[in-house]
Amino acid sequence: MGYLGIVMVALAVVLFTKTWQLFKVVLWRPYTVTKMFENQGVRGPPWKLFYGSTPEMKKLNQDAHQLVLDIKSNDIIQKAQPFYHKWSSQYGQTIPYWIGTEPRLIISDAELAKQILSNKFGFYVKPKMSHSLIRLIGNGLIFIDGEDWARHKRILNPAFSIDKLKVMIKKMAKCTVEMLDEWKNRAIVAEDPRFKIIINEDFRKLTADIISHTAFGSSYAQGIEAFRAQEELQKYSAASLADIFLPGSQFLPTLSNIRIWKLERELNTILEQIVSNKLKSHDGDGLLGIMLGALGSSDSKDSPKLNMKEIIEECRTFFFAGHETSSNLLTWMVFLLCKHQEWQDRLREEVMKECGEAIPDADMLNKLKLMNMVVLESLRLYGPAPDIIRQASRDLKLGNLTIPKDILLVINVLAIHRNKTHWGEDADDFNPLRFKNGVSKAAAHPNALVAFSLGPRACIGQNFAMLEVKTVIALLLQRFRFELSPDYKHAPVIRLTLQPQFGLPILVTPLPA
């Protein structure tokens, strides 16, 4: 065979292999996966060539965009997850669907969620995330896997020890008092002592302030500067996340990409400055201090180390994870306390009894039993993290189901938290007393509350978040009474976290000193 012949054969082989791969991804896999589930009695929306379920989801999301719910109702799924609302009424709670050619399975049962999340053999892994999402959250603890994750976790864990958290409460309280003093000044300036606040916006600033103080210690002011750059970056990244992803499009010099690159450079420069200042000052304070204590080559054998790039990525992750979620939890808790004034009174009474007018400390917060129940009930009904995603690393058995390798499992936290089999017929009602005997006894399944996830990859910041929310709400109750503003529209939406689409306007009245 001549040279040309060899080239032709090689080309034919490449062409055949590529066509076969395309055929497998576009037709064969969707057909076999759909059949595999159908044979097990599990059905979902019809699969469409190339697009899967994406057009239907898009249409349902668009229709739900204008929807405003009855303020009395906590049944938010039709607004926040319209596709699940529709499909679950047709196909049940375990639903296969397709994002383009990628198969996914929605899980809405606590037992299956527990089996996935508490598996210690690496059967369910973190899926590869899009460039936009990593840019948004940072390539830190949330996304990394395997040995890298174990090394980072060993270094970061001590930052969340009880002793460290106790010190952090003081910083949380200081930031909150500053915000509330500013509110008091507003009340003095306004003629009417009762004035309006868009509280989700104030909580965003507050939680940013808190994580900057706790993560960066003395460099918190620069931390807040970094936050501003990251917030702007988030706006651009969120917009590109909403678009259909075209491979390679992140490298095109579009106006938005140029802005994103500039912001990324700015953010990295600020973070590098913070790190270098901190290194010079030998200040071991805050989360960053702990990370810098472990600065070194990541292949060091003796003790776990983080290199500079990893530290910067972790800073970005903690910025995002440490403020986006808690500010939304605070927002929803205030919403519930506005709706249920009797609970607002009960919590205020409890705070006055255990703390009086004092700034709460760890011991006082520990005694706030009703407060704890209300936080848990807020996490159940309006948990900021609406789903948790894993990927099957091989063909697996999950409960009675056989799961094909590589499928993405979408643990639907919102649905599990409203599942009547677990929580009873009043699952949609606000009833903090269901937690009076502890989390594991609140529902028919001991792990039905998955707001912070479960198992080895559960939220590292959950104690931090619980203390932060209790501190902020206790200080707020000591100083103000609050109610919903008449222009509030009940429209919880998912923008990575569960948020009020039109904000949360409330009316606050200072309490007599």
**Contacts for 208 with CB less than 8 Å, ≥ 6 apart:** 224, 227, 319, 323, 327
Binders of ligand HEM among residues 465 to 504 (CB under 6 A) are: 465
- Considering the complex, state which of residue 60 and residue 409 has its C-beta at the smaller distance from ligand HEM: 409
Nearest to 109 by CA among 93, 123, 125: 93
Task: Verify binding: residue 416, ligand HEM, rule CB under 6 A.
Answer: no
Say whether 355 counts as a known binding-site residue: no
Asked if 141 is part of the footprint of ligand HEM (rule: CB under 6 A), the reply reads: yes
Sequence letter at residue 503:
G
Does position 42 bind ligand HEM by CB under 6 A? Answer: no
Q: Which two tokens stand for residue 408?
A: 């993405």
| Smallest separation, CB 140 to ligand HEM (Å) | 6
164 is a site residue for ligand HEM (CB under 6 A): no
Indicate which single residue of 429, 453, 481, 485 sits in contact with ligand HEM (rule: CB under 6 A): 453
Residues recorded for the chain: 513
CB-wise, 33 or 376, nearer to ligand HEM?
376
Total of residues contacting ligand HEM (CB under 6 A): 23
Q: Amino acid letter at 294?
A: A
Q: How far apart are CA 145 and CA 311, in angstroms?
A: 16
Residue 321 or 355 having the CB closest to ligand HEM:
321
Kindly give, in sequence order, each residue whose CB lies less than 8 Å from that of residue 70, ignoring residues fewer than 6 positions away. 490
**For the residues of 487-509, what is the DSSP string, one character each?**
T--B-EEEESEEEETT--EEEEE
Integer Cα distance of 90 and 345 in angstroms = 42
Least separation, in Å, of the C-beta of 225 and ligand HEM? 19
Binding residues for ligand HEM restricted to 276-295, rule: CB under 6 A: none
Q: Which of 87, 124, 382, 464 binds ligand HEM (CB under 6 A)?
A: 464
User: Quick one: tokens of 12?
Assistant: 């034919």
CB of residue 146 vs ligand HEM: minimum separation in angstroms?
A: 12
**Contact range with ligand HEM by CB under 6 A, out of 15-23, 95-103, 189-197, 455-463:** 455-463
Q: Contact, 83 vs 53, CB < 8 A?
A: yes
Nearest to 206 by CA among 177, 167, 226, 230: 177
By beta-carbon distance, which residue lies closest to ligand HEM? 461
Q: What is the pattern of x (binds ligand HEM, CB under 6 A) and - over residues 300-339?
A: -----------------xx--xx--xx--x----------
> Looking at beta carbons only, is 56 or 314 nearer to ligand HEM?
314
Helix (H, G, I), strand (E, B) or coil at 396: strand
Binding residue for ligand HEM, selected from 104, 278, 457, 479, defined by CB under 6 A:
457
| Number of other residues whose CB lies within 10 A of the CB of residue 457 | 19
Per-residue HEC secondary structure of 107-148 comes to ECCHHHHHHHHCCCCCCEECCCCCHHHHHHHCCCCCCCCHHH
Establish if 388 lies at the interface with ligand HEM (CB under 6 A): yes
Binding to ligand HEM by residue 142, rule CB under 6 A? yes
Contact in structure between 471 and 360 (CB atoms under 8 Å): yes
Spell out where 176-253 has E strands. 195-198
Q: How far is the CB of 155 from ligand HEM (least distance, A)?
A: 12
- Taking CB under 6 A as the binding criterion, the range among 177-185, 258-266, 396-404, 447-455 that sits at the site for ligand HEM is 447-455
Q: Would you count residue 153 as binding ligand HEM (CB under 6 A)? A: yes
Answer positive or negative: Cα dihedral of 158, 161, 163, 167: positive
| Closer Cβ to ligand HEM, 11 or 150, answer by number | 150
CB of 318 to ligand HEM, least distance (A): 5
Residue 130 engages ligand HEM in binding (rule: CB under 6 A): no
| Contact status, residue 171 vs residue 164, Cβ threshold 8 Å | no
Token pair belonging to 162: 């009880």
383 lines the binding site for ligand HEM (CB under 6 A): yes
Rg (CA), the chain: 25
* Sequence-ordered alpha helix ranges (H) in 383-419: 413-416
According to the binding rule CB under 6 A, does residue 113 interact with ligand HEM? no
The nearest distance, CB 351 to ligand HEM, in angstroms, is 20
Binding region for ligand HEM (CB under 6 A): 141-142, 153, 317-318, 321-322, 325-326, 329, 383-385, 388, 451-453, 457, 459-461, 464-465
Q: Which residues are annotated as a binding site for heme?
A: 459
Q: Which residues are annotated as a binding site?
A: 459
